[in-house]
């Protein structure tokens, strides 16, 4: 059956050289299909070819759009998922990036794919978010949700940090390393994978904890339920400063007594995929895995 996507919000990676041509073709497609379009005023350029369309704040985009199309790379879609999770609106990605695990429509096939999606030929996927709280002197100093991962790491590149990890109030281990990646299944193909972590398929209700360059090689990645309460703090013996990164978009310098507390967020991100979306095909293509011998 036809979709209910009548008002379409657009946001993008503003610095990409290919953006304007893709946007113009996308707007032509949406107009021909009779859709109302809202342009994100924070990310779309003020170009003559775009001036006939209304602009909106991110809040207005979230409230008024039935579907948001993010034009760029995975980072653009993650940024959109962050800002739109509170509105429970689905996001569709058009890939101008290089790797593209999340943005799975190319500009060349954009028009035909969108036409089929508007006819109801699509898959809706929900992906859970994690919530990280920096606890300082017993209070929440900073709180933010992530789509991909938290990176707890040393602030000074030439030192290691010593820190301990607790799961659901139970002591897990103390380690000396460059830090740890705490990842959702969505982020398991990003920094966590580079740190030796496993790939989790998107539907798994699990979280990866992957140490970064541990001093003791028996410190291996571990997978825990997504409902776990994860707490990480530096030990009193640690001689290096640490920080935490939230999806690479926000970094907080930590004080020695701070605790990073991670739980499952009540919010989730909704992604729209073409009807023939195949996660394993994407893994093979992006990671250059071999096919049949």
pLDDT of residue 169: 98
Above 80 in pLDDT, residue 99?
no
Catalytic-role residue among 40, 74, 145, 247: 74
pLDDT of residue 293: 58
Above 90 in pLDDT, residue 239?
no
* Tokens (6 digits) for 235: 């030990």
Above 80 in pLDDT, residue 225?
yes
Above 80 in pLDDT, residue 97?
no
Q: Using one digit for the tens of pLDDT, what is the confidence trace for 37-55?
A: 999 998 887 777 788 899 9
Where, residue-wise, is CATH 3.40.50.10330 in the chain?
7-121+275-287
pLDDT of residue 136: 96
How far is it, in rounded angstroms, from Cα 101 to Cα 95? 9
Average pLDDT, the chain: 92
What is the assigned CATH class of domain 7-121+275-287? alpha beta
Above 80 in pLDDT, residue 252?
yes
Percent share of the chain, pLDDT over 70: 98
To the query of whether residue 74 is one of the catalytic residues in this protein, the response is yes
* Tokens (6 digits) for 13: 């990676």
Q: Using one digit for the tens of pLDDT, what is the confidence trace for 110-126?
A: 999 999 999 999 999 99
Q: Give the lowest-confidence range in 24-33, 74-83, 117-126.
A: 74-83
- Which CATH number, 3.30.9.10, 3.30.230.10, 2.60.200.30, 1.10.490.10, labels domain 129-266? 2.60.200.30
Percent share of the chain, pLDDT over 90: 77
Where, residue-wise, is CATH 2.60.200.30 in the chain?
129-266
pTM of the predicted structure, to 2 decimals: 0.92
* Tokens (6 digits) for 214: 């541990």
DSSP E strand boundaries for the chain: 7-12, 36-40, 55-56, 67-72, 90-95, 122-136, 139-146, 149-154, 161-167, 170-177, 179-183, 206-212, 222-225, 230-234, 242-246, 250-254, 259-274
pLDDT of residue 240: 83
- Average pLDDT estimate for 132-157: 95
DSSP 105: B
């Amino acid at each position: 059956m036809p979709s209910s996507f009548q008002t379409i919000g657009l946001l993008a990676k503003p610095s990409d050289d290919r953006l304007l041509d893709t946007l113009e073709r996308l707007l032509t497609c949406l107009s021909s299909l009779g859709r109302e379009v809202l342009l994100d005023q924070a990310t779309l350029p003020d170009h003559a070819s775009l001036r006939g369309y209304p602009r909106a704040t991110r809040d207005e985009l979230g409230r008024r759009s039935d579907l948001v199309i993010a034009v760029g790379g995975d980072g653009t879609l993650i940024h959109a998922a962050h800002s739109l999770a509170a509105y429970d609106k689905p996001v569709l990605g058009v890939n101008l990036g290089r790797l593209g695990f999340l943005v799975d429509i190319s500009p060349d096939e954009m028009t035909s794919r969108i036409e089929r999606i508007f006819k109801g030929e699509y898959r809706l996927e929900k992906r859970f978010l994690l919530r990280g709280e920096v606890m300082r002197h017993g209070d929440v100093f900073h709180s933010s949700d992530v789509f991909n991962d938290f990176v707890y790491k040393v602030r000074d590149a030439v030192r290691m940090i010593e820190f301990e990890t607790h799961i659901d109030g139970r002591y897990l281990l103390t380690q000396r390393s460059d830090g740890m990646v705490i990842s959702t299944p969505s982020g398991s193909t990003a920094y966590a994978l580079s740190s030796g972590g496993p790939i989790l398929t998107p539907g798994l209700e699990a979280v990866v904890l992957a140490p970064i360059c541990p001093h003791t090689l028996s410190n291996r990645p571990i997978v825990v339920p997504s409902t776990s309460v994860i707490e990480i703090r530096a030990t009193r013996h640690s001689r290096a400063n640490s920080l935490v990164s939230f999806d690479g978009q926000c970094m907080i310098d930590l004080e020695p007594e701070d605790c990073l507390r991670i739980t499952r967020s009540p919010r989730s991100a909704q992604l729209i995929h073409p009807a023939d979306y195949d996660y394993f095909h994407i893994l093979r293509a992006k990671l250059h895995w071999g096919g049949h011998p």
